[in-house]
Structure 1
Amino acid sequence: MPNVWGLHMPIGIGLDAIDKRRVSIGWAKMGDLSKLPKDREAIKTAIATAYPEKKQGAIPVEAGVIYRFVHEINAGDYVVYPSKHDRMVNIGKFTGEFIYETGPADDDDGFPNSRTVEWLGHFPRSEFNQSALYEIGSFITLFRIKNHTAEFLGKIDPSASGEPEDDQDALPDDDSVSSTVTRQAEETTEDFVIKRIHERLSGHEFEHFIAHLLERMGYTVRVTQKSSDGGIDVIAHNDKLGFEPPIIKVQCKRTTSQINETQVRELLGTLVEGEYGLFVTLGAFAPKVRQSERNLSKLRLIDGEQLFDLIVKHYAELSPRYRTLIPLRQIYVPDLG
């Protein structure tokens, strides 16, 4: 029965994971991890030698990750990769090939060890229940998914099932647990906010919510009429009467999926001299769209993660209606940098 693995990668590496059809892990100082023996004690020794600064409590956990990545993953096993940069849950199948690809000679933080993946589907986080999202928020880089295999695999193959055996790896050190608690608290809150907005506001209500948020940020705004907005949902100004440039034309998309170039190009096509374009979505933007933002001073993009940050920043200023829609309270979590 195939295993179902969860895997985390930093944004820089994760951006290439889909296009290159691979997942990667680090430990660049240890070279080609596939050359390591099938022995956890030997792997622990190799980690301690390559990284003498490592805490002793962290070494067994990291040795377990390397052991699984090199020796336990089989062709046909499934992988679930939650990508932070676009808030998607990517599900694929390992094809069995191990790749070692060196980077710059001084790149001690690189991710040269990879396994090839056939990606089978990419799904917004909002399509999964909170318990499933919590499971893939594990503190470990590579781990077995045990409790929600049916939910994840059901997205790409309703006939696939199976529960992996219990993991016997060492427990993580306190700093790893604290860091994960902080990250999971932030991600859980972000998931909750985006799901609430997506499920409880219609498209037109979402436009009014964005207008309200912009007002709380100091802009003068008006929502356009649904029948004749020309693709523009909100008009925003810096001055109180709305006569002085610049004029900000806002397009709002309540979708949690990815926004492509065509959609953003439609917004840009409405702009004339003295006007700027703002595109707001609960989802994410394709990499090429983000590149357009960097090259165009008249374009700004706000994805789900950035929108969440703005909501939290201005939460106390939101009207009671929206605070009721998105009930939040302040908590304190570990800040380990």
Structure 2
Amino acid sequence: MATEESKFWGIHTLNDNLFLKDSIIAIGWSEMGNLTLLEAKREAFKEKYMQVYPNAKKGSIATSAGMLYRFCHEVQIGDYVVFPSKINREVNIGVIEGAYSYDSAQAEYVQTRKVKWLKHLPRTVFSQGALYEIGSAMSFFSVKNYVEEFMGALNKKTNELFSAEAEDDSVGATADDIIESTKDFILKELSRQLKGYDLEEFVADLLGAMGYRTILSPHGGDSGIDITAYKDELPPRILVQVKSQDSDIKEATIQSLKGAMREGDYGLFVTLSNYTKNAHKYLERTPIIRGINGTELVELILKYYDDLSDKYKKMIPLKMVYIPVMKSE
């Protein structure tokens, strides 16, 4: 059975029957050919991947090549694998019994390893945290956080695992992880896709979704004001400055916004990063200027997402889902 030294791996597939009936695990990328023909170095796998998939996105090259390398060279006979099957909503745990093998007879899943399936358990016997970990977006990955739970599942009877009365302590942490991952995704997409004037246009659209009437300043203007916003046809006027820089905003930068304001105006400063300590103090002393950092901007996006224009919904694709949370005390 499993030992504390055993490594646990997680894997996904679109062909559950192949894994369960043939007692194998496998990953695709058939165009990569036999992986044992490559030098056993990550860099060699990356170079080959770029040759085979020249149009691959830069961020996916290291991830995909890394999965192939680990599947071929890091996985050892005697390691354990956790495979959530969709056809029966079970969690299957097995032990790796074979070395890497290239199976050219397969249509897609040519990179294979023999497995002996030890247990097929209903998802309900696992904590939400464990299910979340093996729900990784990656095809092949290392299981780290809930190894003890999966190891325990191998050594216990099913009726010892399931407790309908016990509250799942991992629910709250899992919900927080999902929320934080979503926020990280939004901020990364904003930083990647929206720079300079593009971010200004996005902020104007977000303000519109919040109920403000906005006027974008002409590109190249020297007033330091990127957007003028009104709640209705009457004052006050809100002058907005937007910065897409990665470094934190300094006090002097906010002071330039203050200098462009007239009596009765309010100011809004929006950045994807944050503010320096002195800039925070300046904002506290100047209540007519509101500073929004990257984290706060993401919160507003989540709140008003449904009212954003379709252009930005496509840029930041999100789906409304319900997630379990801890019961109120």
- The TM tier, using the shorter chain, reads 0.3 to 0.5
Greater gyration radius = 2
